Every structure is written in structure tokens, then in C-alpha cells.
Structure 1
Amino acid sequence: MNPNQQNIIGPERSTGLPQVKGPEINDRDIINDMLAMEKYMAAGYNTAVNEASNQQLFDIQLQLLNEVHRAQRDLFNLMHQKGWYKLEAAEQNKVTQKAQQFANYRSQFPYQ
């Protein structure tokens, strides 16, 4: 990690991680497991949406996929708020470089 790299931490970061007193599962473990499950479900629903055989099935599965994404985001936000999901701030020049790279990719497609 770059020593000048800035971490993006949630507002409760000063409380730190839950204290582990033994093999018991703590709140962080439970929420992390829930987040992993939501990610797994999103992958499954994404495939189901792509392969839906009719419009009604497509619409229902798309709605479920959207609900899973919202639940996933809520869990991510909770973990970030508690300081349990660490993010690193990207350097502005790298963000600009990636944005330009994807703009170049997009310009290669005729259906913009």
C-alpha cells in the first residue's frame, strides 16, 4: 500500500473491531456472512434474469435482483459505518485515467 494512500473509513471507526472473547460469532461475522450471501444471490438472480424465458418471469426476477442489490448495499453501508469494511481512496489521476479508458471503450460501440 502506498504510504500516502488515504483510507476511507466509516464514522464509528474509532470504536474498532468487536472484541473477540472466544469462538463465538460476533456482529461483524454475522453481517459479513449476510453480505456474502447477498452477493451470491445477486450472481444467481443475474443469471436467472439473463435467461428468463418470458417477460413476466424476467420482470419478477429483475425485481428480486434489484431487492438483493439494495440489501447488499445496506449491509455494505452498515459495515462501512461501523468501520468493518475498509476502503482506500483512489488517487485523482487514477480515477481520471480509468474514466478515460472506459470512455474510449464505449466510443468503440456503434450503439451509443
Structure 2
Amino acid sequence: MLYSKPMIELVYEIRRRVPSHLKPDIKLANPDLLDELLLYYQKDADTIVKALIKELMQLAGDPWTDLLTSQESSSDQYVTKTYRGALMLEPRKAGTEEKSRSSRKMYRGQMVSG
């Protein structure tokens, strides 16, 4: 892949901000650079690094942008719940919570329809 100057600067900035155990993998000579950044984006990147990776993927083109958006939408379909100290992922129910919240309201400790 050919990198433009803004893409190279983004890779340098991402490399500067990631944890030290990932720095050897984030090099322009690495042919799987964008794949590894995509995996890091999905797992545990902080917000600044996520924004930088997202911008890099947009500069890389459509296939990378599509991969990034498909991963974001799939993560929005699950809700994390804690039960006895264990985290669980459960599928999000489509629209049922929004309807129930809008139809019932609390007023001075009493349920009011509205």
C-alpha cells in the first residue's frame, strides 16, 4: 500500500500513543499494519487513538472504512451487564426500552403515564 504524507504522520502519532508492547508492530514496513490497528481499535484503544485510527482508515479508502464501520455497528448491538461481579454481553432489545421509558414517568415517587 502506498501511504500519503498525512497517513505517515498519523501512523507516527498512533505509534507514539500506543502502549510499548504494540510499538514493534506499528511500522510502515509492516504489511499488516492496518489489520493490526483495526484489531487494536476494536479491543482497547483510548479515545484519542481511536480517533487517529479512524482518520487513518478514512484516508486509506473504502474497504478499510467499511471494515471499521461494520465493527462499530456490531458492538452497538450488545449491552454489558454485571451479575455477581462477572461482566456479560447480552443482545440489545430493539426499541422496547425506548418505548417503555417514554410512556412511564416518575412524579413524586408515583408512576405517571405520559
Specify if TM > 0.5. no
Normalising by the residue count of structure 1, what TM-score does the alignment of the two structures yield?
Answer: 0.31
Q: Which has the higher helix share?
A: 1
State the structure with more CA Rg.
Answer: 2
Normalising by the residue count of structure 2, what TM-score does the alignment of the two structures yield?
Answer: 0.30
Q: Which has the higher contact order (CA 8 A, sep 6+)?
A: 1
